[in-house]
Amino acid sequence: MAKNDLVSGSIWDEYSSIVADRMNNPRHMGEITEEQAEAMGAALIVADFGAESCGDAVRLYWAVEKDTDKIVASKFKSFGCGTAIASSDIMTELCLGKTVDEAVKITNIDVEKAMRDEPNTPAVPAQKMHCSVMAYDVIKKAASLYKGVDMESFETEFIVCECARVSLDTLKEVIKLNKLTTIEQVTDYTKAGAFCKSCIKPGGHEAKDIYLVDILADTLAEMDRERLAEAAVENAKVDKDFGKLTIVQKIKLVDSVIDEFVRPMLVMDGGDMEVVDIKETGSNYDLYIRYLGACSSCATGSTGTLYAIESTLQQQIDPAIRVVTI
């Protein structure tokens, strides 16, 4: 059934159009045979992973070019729900063209983000967020088979929930993205803590280094700090008289303009800058900056680049701003 055939406002609307398309029209479902891999001058790798919690399973096929370790063909078979098919299809696609070492860096969050229509809108409803978890394990299983090592050797993320294979970074990302405030919501969205429950709080059958209650509290505190910082910048922008702002407000406002209009260009060329101080000199505001990275040795740092920074700040904030390098 096509997404457009369903009534607007139903749970189907919680799925991205990418997920809906890949459910019904997966691009990479199938298998790779030994003969096909040999014809490509590649080694065939077949890796299986099953999620005991929901019964979904996926088989990943790689044809890996022997001289370069590059994945020249990638297919999958999925035994599970439509979301598992969609996420497996995207996961398989993300592997194509990468070396094995590059592929093992693909995370569950990478898979879920690749299924979004909009960068800040989850691709699937909360109860289906766990379906991308299999990508984390099946990729590492395939890589371990190719390299002849244990899967654990590829572990680079701190896993909080072993049952659902949910990492600390994933938890913080999902809490922030969906503005979660309770452990029940965290479990609903990620499936962390949904099974043995040892990772929720101290007292379970298995001791943990960190628990969901701690992660939620720390992430909410971090979000509060970010909101306060953003509010300070917005309040500073509302006040059109730059001279009436405190030194902290001035620097926050300058930093926000630099982040939006200047820093991306500097970083693109391998450089950066930082605001050191702002001083009133007569009717002017002297902004002292320090170049970082490639900018610190660039010949245009005292000419074209400096003029561009000064001109931007004058246009966006106050024409009396002068920029001085130190």
- The residues annotated with a catalytic role in the active site are 54, 131
Please give the Cα distance from 144 to 177 (Å, whole number).
Answer: 32
Which residues have C-beta within 8 Å of that of residue 238, sequence separation ≥ 6?
A: none
Please give the Cα distance from 63 to 202 (Å, whole number).
Answer: 45
Joined together, the tokens standing for residue 216 give 């939620």
Strands (E), the chain: 42-50, 57-65, 71-79, 159-161, 166-167, 271-281, 284-293, 321-325
**Helix, strand, coil in percent for the chain, rounding step 5:** 50, 20, 30
Find, among 55, 204, 202, 74, the residue nearest to 139 by Cα. Answer: 74
